[in-house]
């Protein structure tokens, strides 16, 4: 049987397409051997690799279950920007426009695991080292900090410090991280 590797790229709202693609793969009976992701792809990859079905992800993204105020999609695209007010960090201090803590808390509640080692499907997450201008690939250890680093879009979210490195959105260095999938993937 073929070992299907899936690379989920960045691109914000385009990440919804990742969920739909995973749902089609489930319908035809294919399961990924490994997933790699950057930015929104890291978020979707973590949720899926932790054991959530693609249908459950789609339902979460389009229903009130992912957000206290409505659907996750509504929160992103609602023209009434007051929903973002609670996430705004107006005391910039070099941080970012949005505070990721509320989103990460919601994400954590949807993950069934806390580390890469507990995932049902192996996952590799890409973040960018701000100072070295190189990609950092996470595949072991705590899951949420890796996702946080991979989604830390400069100017929007504060960079994340892990092991003395200042990390930002992985899409800066690798927008579709197919090259970090294991060699045995088809």
Helix (H, G, I), strand (E, B) or coil at 180: helix
Domain 5-180 coded CATH 3.40.50.150: no
Name the phi and psi angles at 25, rounded to 5: -60, -40
Interval 148-160 mean pLDDT = 93
Kindly report the pTM of this predicted structure: 0.85
Token couple for 123: 């996952």
Q: Where are the domains of the chain?
A: 5-180
CA angle, residues 43, 58, 109, in degrees to nearest 5: 50
DSSP 89: -
Task: Say yes or no to pLDDT of 65 above 60.
Answer: no
**Beta-bridge partner residues of 49:** none
Predicted confidence at residue 73, as pLDDT, reads 45
pLDDT of residue 102: 85
Cα three-residue angle 37-5-16, rounded to 5 degrees: 45
Predicted confidence band at 63 (pLDDT cuts at 50, 70, 90)? low
Q: How many CA atoms lie within 13 A of 68 on its CB side?
A: 8
Tell me the pLDDT tens digit for each residue of 67-124: 455 444 444 444 344 444 444 444 445 567 778 888 899 899 999 899 999 999 999 9
In degrees rounded to 5, what are phi and psi of residue 169? -45, 125
């Amino acid at each position: 049987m073929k070992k299907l590797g899936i690379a989920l790229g960045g691109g914000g709202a385009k990440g919804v397409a990742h969920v739909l693609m995973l749902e089609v793969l489930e319908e035809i009976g294919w399961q990924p051997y490994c997933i790699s992701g950057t930015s929104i792809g890291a978020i979707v990859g973590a949720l899926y690799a932790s054991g959530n079905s693609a249908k459950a992800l789609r339902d979460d993204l389009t229903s009130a279950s992912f957000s206290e105020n409505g659907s996750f999609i509504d929160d992103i695209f609602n023209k009434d920007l007051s929903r973002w007010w609670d996430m705004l960090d107006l005391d910039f201090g070099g941080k970012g426009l949005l505070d990721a803590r509320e989103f990460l808390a919601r994400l954590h509640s949807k993950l069934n695991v806390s580390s890469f080692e507990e995932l049902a499907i192996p996952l590799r997450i890409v973040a960018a080292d701000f100072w070295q201008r190189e990609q950092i690939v996470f595949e072991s250890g705590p899951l949420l900090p890796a996702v946080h680093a991979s989604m830390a879009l400069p100017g929007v979210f504060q960079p994340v410090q892990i092991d003395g490195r200042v990390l930002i959105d992985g899409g800066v260095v690798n927008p579709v991280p197919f090259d970090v999938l294991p060699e045995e993937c088809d």
